[in-house]
Amino acid sequence: MNEVKGSAGLPGTLTFRLGTLGSAVGDRFAERIERHGLKPKHVGLLTALGQGAFASQQDLAGRLGVAPSLVVSLADHLESLDAVRRVRDPRDRRRQVLTLTDRGHELLATCTTEARALDAELTAHLGEPERQALFTTLGGLAARAGLPTD
């Protein structure tokens, strides 16, 4: 099935609907986290760091699929918020690794709370079975695309 039932043209494609919805939801999430001095890319870096103890800036760039210079810029900002700390890699003193500070863990928890509140608003009209089905389906699509799912 390449088309949403009952719809024609570009708006009838899943790609269009997910893309436009994703953009709108991303904008709403960005508004919520802005008051914490964060943008979605900062949250992406915090999330990646939250999944492991040590990560070099180079490793993070590869994991996130972005230029190393962007990771440096994001890390600079997060360091100014006392959310991350740069330390020498204990296994290779030539490399710096980023770790989350207590403040970084707090910001990550705050962003999770903001996202869950937005989830609740977006799905308020759905019953619990529909909400679970949507979550499961989107999780499957994300996993197939190589995106984080937990």
In tens, the pLDDT along 90-107 reads 788 888 889 999 999 999
In this predicted model, what pLDDT tens digit does every residue of 131-147 receive, in sequence order?
999 999 999 998 998 87
pTM (predicted TM-score): 0.84
Q: How many residues comprise the chain?
A: 150
Tens digit of each residue's pLDDT (9 = 90 or more) over 36-74 = 999 999 999 999 999 875 678 888 888 888 898 999 999
Domain ranges of the chain: 28-144
Specify the 3-state DSSP secondary structure of 84. Answer: strand
Please list the helix, strand and coil fractions of the chain in percent, rounded to the nearest 5, in that order.
65, 10, 25
Q: Residue 65, SS3? A: coil
| CATH class belonging to 28-144 | mainly alpha
